[in-house]
Structure 1
Amino acid sequence: MIEAGLRADAERNRQSILVAAEELFLERGGGIPLEEVAKRAKVGIGTLYRRFPTRESLLAATSNERFLSVAETSCARGRDQDPADAMRQFLEELAINTSVYQSLAASLGTVIQHGTPGCMAITSEGQRLLGRTQEAGIIRSDATFDDIICVVSAIAIAVEKDTAPASRVAHLVDLLLNGMLVR
């Protein structure tokens, strides 16, 4: 994603930071010292902080494409899909994509508030699906999107080190949804 209004050298630095962060986050997790990201990107720490003032803003930027993909895939399934199935698939995909970097899940609630297109898309799609399931009388009316993000974070943390997290995520999402069902 190109940031509007950046000089060419500033955009190159931004892209170098994102590439370095992605590599290091995949190798060692989102909790690594940001100085290491700057060093690998061959920029000063001040340059990194000018573009990404917090760790969470950097995590949001590196997760942007994954989050966009989750939201777009969910939207593409259409409004005709059973609301419970749509919510289940969305939650599973979000949890799997949140567990990509160790430590991303622990700050997901803060990360998605950073206003990247992916973060906004996840929020919008999650709220839409929650509304559909509540309108259909499937999910309790007192459940909020923040509740969902909290539990998705817990699921993603639980599977961060699993070698095959998909089946575990599906099981944990099923438990989550069973707990949120209208009785």
Structure 2
Amino acid sequence: MPDIAPERPLRADARRNYERILAAAREVFAAHGAGASLEEIARRAGVGSATLHRHFPSRRTLLTAVFHDRVEALCARAREYAEENEPGVALVAWLRDFTAYASASRGLAASLLHDGRDGDPPQRSDDCEMMIAAAAGELLHRAQEAGVVRPGVRAEDLLTLLNAISLATEHHHDDAQASRLLDLTIDGIRVHP
């Protein structure tokens, strides 16, 4: 494998632009969801579209940068649940956290858990999608080993269901609907006597 040159530090003005773009993106994504206008983000950041795309070549790279810390915290909760609870309880608690987070993030799950159709190059190993998949996979594996979750369930299937719940409920005014759909999902993956 060829050596990859380390990234050079950004110049002060480039760093300021990067931070302004991230701050604007947080605001715009919070207000309009993950599908918000990149042009609006650039305008609010006070930079041109080319500057935004130089720092973030695609929507997904921008979303990853914006939501990275929150996804890290969500995955840290998965580890805490695993340490503090029985495997089935840990999995269900994290699924509830993930569903609430995905619903509140308005399209984040769909953007981060898609199949890469936007042409992004492979991400670094700490990519949000990989962190989420690893957290879900570990909790699921422990629950399956404990005999409380059906053995045929796969982490990617579970994340697809959570994504579907997020997408199906993000524009509804019934805040409890996502929780009800998650309850149906949890009941469907459980081992029943």
Any unmatched runs of 5+ in structure 1? none
2:104 match: secondary structure: coil
Q: How does 1:27-176 map to 2 (within 5 A)?
A: 27-110=31-114, 114-115=123-124, 117=126, 119=128, 120-162=130-172, 165=175, 167-176=176-185
Change (3 A) 1:8 1:123: farther
Identical aligned residues as a percent: 36
Quote how far apart the aligned CAs of 1:105 are. Answer: 3.3
Change (3 A) 1:155 1:21: same
Report whether the alignment pairs 1:23 with 2:33: no
Change (3 A) 1:4 1:70: farther
Quote how far apart the aligned CAs of 1:125 are. Answer: 1.5
Q: What is aligned with 2:187?
A: 178
Quote how far apart the aligned CAs of 1:161 are. Answer: 3.4
Aligned-partner Cα distance in 2 for 1:145–1:109 = 12
Quote how far apart the aligned CAs of 1:86 are. Answer: 0.8
Tell whether the 8 Å contact from 1:13 to 1:41 is kept in structure 2 after alignment: yes
Aligned-partner Cα distance in 2 for 1:163–1:74 = 28
Tell whether the 8 Å contact from 2:34 to 2:107 is kept in structure 1 after alignment: yes
Any unmatched runs of 5+ in structure 2? 1-6, 117-121
Please give the TM-score of this superposition, normalised by the length of structure 1: 0.84
Quote how far apart the aligned CAs of 1:24 are. Answer: 0.8
RMSD over aligned CA atoms reads: 2.5
Quote how far apart the aligned CAs of 1:159 are. Answer: 3.0
Tell whether the 8 Å contact from 1:68 to 1:118 is kept in structure 2 after alignment: no
Change (3 A) 1:110 1:6: farther
